[in-house]
Amino acid sequence: MSNAIVWFRNDLRLADNPALQAALEGGFTPVPVYIHAPEEEGDWTPGAASNTWRHHSLQQLDASLRARGSRLLLRTGPSRQALLDLIRETSAEAVFWNRKYEPATQPRDADIKQALKANGLQVESFNGALLFEPWTLATQQGGPYKVFTPFWRNALSQWRMPALLEAPASMPPVPAGLASQALDAFKLLPRLGWETGFWEHWQPGEAGAHEALEVFIDGALRGYHSDRDRPDRVGTSLLSPHLHFGEIAPWRICAELEQSRTAANDSDMDAYIRELGWREFAYHLLHHFPHTTQHNLNPRFEHFDWAKANDVQLHAWQRGRTGVPIVDAGMRELWATGTMHNRVRMIVASWLTKHMRQHWLHGARWFWDTLLDADLASNTLGWQWVAGTGADAAPYFRVFNPVTQAQKFDPDAAYITRWVPELAGLPLPARFAPWLHADLARRLAPTYPAKPMIDLAAGRDAALDAYKRSAPD
């Protein structure tokens, strides 16, 4: 059998893997390889938290391959040279991979494909990550969408799910004598071990992804439509890191959800699939507007009067010491678990971009380094949406009141109390806004900030004033 390189990237699974399937169906011996080349990701090299997940996911992928008679080769970049070396070592006749969509990696992959084809190799790339690739949907005028609802309406009208592909039961061994680096050589794990608490909540790898889906269908799916906004409840799928690293295909999720559809969970299921649609929309925008990873999509904000970067305030926000309990709870959850409830993500982002009036990039960079599911498309869309500077965005003048948000979505302050335990001794109303109960707070929560770093009313007014000044002439 002739050999084919299967280049793994953010598709760390064996089931529903079009590139691997193409190699097997073509009669090739797959030579699986992962190439560590973070410098090729441009301005957004992977962050510390996501690197820890990648380490464990690569371990799991290698174990799955070895259980089937193969193994995962680990090489360092540059990617083009690493592939050329492996092609020479294996006399490979073909190279297969699943596509990435980031602004830095798309042109890299195109150049590699062109160079390899020029050398006479069969080279094919596939969709292994999305329900709808960014260039497959367009407005009636032929352009990209900037509003989600018509985007999703068009997507649903073209809904065609690929057939599910189970992981191969066995695979031929890779050619003998091929060198592979030790995973530890990539230095993906932090030296101080600050991430150890993550694994109380997560199981990286393909098996973990399938287990998370089963748990979601059996549990949080029922009531998802309403509970997904409740950080005090387990009301979400917890699938986002698995999706980001390609440990499960989105069409596999949809297929298994549909198998479980009933009259009782119909609206919940549609609500979840719509959230998958937001992920698709994010990739659509990233492809068509690659500059938005650094710049506002809405040009009105290019000269917006953001406040001067305040390192003291930014550090307090990052560490959950703003004096606003729901904001601090979210930031502490992020630090402890590598994730944050989506409703709370919106609240902490609104606080940063509106009350603090800091440029959304400060938040996007922090999330990029601390989120296990740090995804360039979703991170960019989310921050610009909250900041009011992007596509289909919440208007900038919509300023979340963090106290009323907490009262609405965390009515018993259970989430706040879990992550800001120094407030546990306060009566319930005081846990939402302890500065309004100053005497009690001094006695019962003396270590918590006495007041918010920014007055809620003053911060809101300053944000709205800055917005008025940014209006076009």
* Catalytic residue (one of 278, 310, 422, 435): 278
At a CB cut-off of 8 Å and minimum separation 6, what does 208 contact? 60, 202, 242, 247
The pLDDT value recorded for residue 468 is: 87
Q: Domains for the chain: give ranges and CATH numbers.
A: 3-127 (3.40.50.620), 130-162+207-288 (1.25.40.80), 299-469 (1.10.579.10)
* Catalytic residue (one of 251, 383, 385, 419): 383
At a CB cut-off of 8 Å and minimum separation 6, what does 455 contact? none
User: Is-catalytic flag, 383?
Assistant: yes
Closest CA to 345 of 310, 307, 386: 386
Cα 222 from chain centroid (whole Å): 24
User: Is-catalytic flag, 280?
Assistant: no
The pLDDT value recorded for residue 422 is: 98
* Catalytic residue (one of 93, 256, 275, 422): 275
User: Is-catalytic flag, 342?
Assistant: yes
The pLDDT value recorded for residue 193 is: 82
* pLDDT, averaged in runs of 10, over the chain (473 residues): 96 98 98 98 96 97 98 98 98 98 97 97 98 97 96 96 95 96 96 86 96 95 92 93 98 96 93 96 97 93 92 97 98 96 96 97 98 96 94 81 98 98 97 97 97 96 90 65
Kindly tell me the sign of the dihedral angle through the C-alpha atoms of 72, 75, 80, 83: negative
Looking at the DSSP bridge assignments, the partners of residue 40 are: none
Closest CA to 11 of 3, 20, 1: 20
Closest CA to 178 of 115, 91, 272: 91
Kindly tell me the sign of the dihedral angle through the C-alpha atoms of 242, 244, 249, 253: positive
* Catalytic residue (one of 154, 342, 401, 422): 342
First to last CA, the chain: 69
Estimate the crossing angle of helix 360-370 against helix 325-337, to 10 degrees. 40
Which H or E run includes 36? Answer: strand 29-36
* Catalytic residue (one of 360, 366, 385, 419): 360
User: Is-catalytic flag, 275?
Assistant: yes
The pLDDT value recorded for residue 128 is: 97
d(CA 333, CA 319) in angstroms, rounded, equals 10
Write down the residue that tokens 């709808």 correspond to.
132
Instruction: Give the start-end residues of each E strand in 333-415.
Output: none
At a CB cut-off of 8 Å and minimum separation 6, what does 96 contact? 4, 5, 6, 7, 19, 20, 22, 23, 123, 124, 125, 126
Helix (H, G, I), strand (E, B) or coil at 337: helix
d(CA 58, CA 35) in angstroms, rounded, equals 11
* Catalytic residue (one of 41, 124, 199, 306): 306
CA distances for 462 relative to 52, 156, 224, 238, 305, angstroms? 39, 41, 36, 36, 10
